[in-house]
Structure 1
Amino acid sequence: MSRLSVRAFTISADGYGAGPDQSLKEPLGVGGEALHGWLFPTRTFRQLSGKDGETGIDDDFAARSFENVGAWIMGRNMFGPVRGPWPDESWKGWWGDNPPYHVPVFVLTHHARAPITMEGGTTFHFVTDGIESALAQAKAAAAGKDVRIGGGTATVHQYLRARLIDEMHLAVSPVLLGRGENFFAGIDLPALGYACTERVSTPAATHLMVRKQA
């Protein structure tokens, strides 16, 4: 059965999922890149660019984040820095001609745009009629595999409030950002029916599994 999951979503020790002032120069916000210090050295991440990397617990969680994923959902801000109506068709994401997804990706937006087919099996579809429609399309495309929410924080919040997320892997990085997008602001996870069911710590991160309870 297809699950909706959040995987390898990194937050700072003070709860921020991205730094402030996101821009073309700072796609993760000011200081946001430091959040992912646990991920960048892993073999799973470095293999995306044809390099070798570290194994161990952090790599195990990174590898698990790609298992059995048949489609992705992401917010407009994660796709790129362009705001408002699309000025042209030139922006095709942060990731170059061959994005790391290799499956259909559904982008939440208020502004229609034709699908973009990239190398490696990634096609970006732009959904203008809400989170339920995006999820239905993603599950159909996933054909029984899981749907992964890539982010950002606001997109995860929408699906959490609707109790549509089955599980989340949160990697808590020992970094303080002070400002940005706070992952827990306005979200009462116990009241929404979620509980922390697993915790594993490494020097680089504390890995939390949060699952919806029956």
Structure 2
Amino acid sequence: MGLREEYRNSDYALFDVLSDMGQLTYGDLDQLIVETDEFDMVLSHLKNFNLEKYLYSEAGGHEALRKAVDRLDADYDLILVDSPPNLGPLSDGALIASENVLFPSHPNTIARDSLEILFDEIETIEEKFDQYDIKTMGAVLNEVPSQGNVAREVEEWFSETFGREYVFSVPERDVVEHAIEYRTSIFQYDPEEAGYPWDADAQEDVIASYNRIANYVEEFL
């Protein structure tokens, strides 16, 4: 998103809001928000590596993010939480805060085991915190190659697990890496200006995939 300077120079992070060791409180999440033309963001931060360990040992740590989000003054249509790929207090906190999960995965065989572990974790959370009902919205298969038997088999397995209409595919295209290199989103990326004019068709394909996901999320919620 081109926010490298904001990421490097930010004084505060979620660690400061969600832990007693930080300099902010649950009510200060607004101070971390960075506004962009497309959407607002709370950036990741090196401090957050320490947050996982803190929340694991802190009573009520798994509910810290939800408490902070509940105190937000800003009025948003949607809040998307991009949690770490590993299970732990941060990802558990994201599940509790949102109560909805869209499972992102690469189309490989490891994804099946990861999904089963996630289902077990959701069940554990619901048993421990009976006031939460976490809904599994579906899955997004990312970087799906145009050819390959393994990817096709995994996609079919996901369709059988979630239902075909709840599994979304994002094609594997160099344009995504080029947009990151260009330091912008795929929507704002300009292939001509970036020096990759041949990216135009691939950009349309990826944008169409993201729009299908966005439309589904809006309808679901």
- TM-score, normalised relative to structure 2: 0.33
More strand by share: 1
Larger RCO (CA under 8 A, 6+ residues apart):
1
Q: Which has the larger radius of gyration?
A: 2
- TM-score, normalised relative to structure 1: 0.33
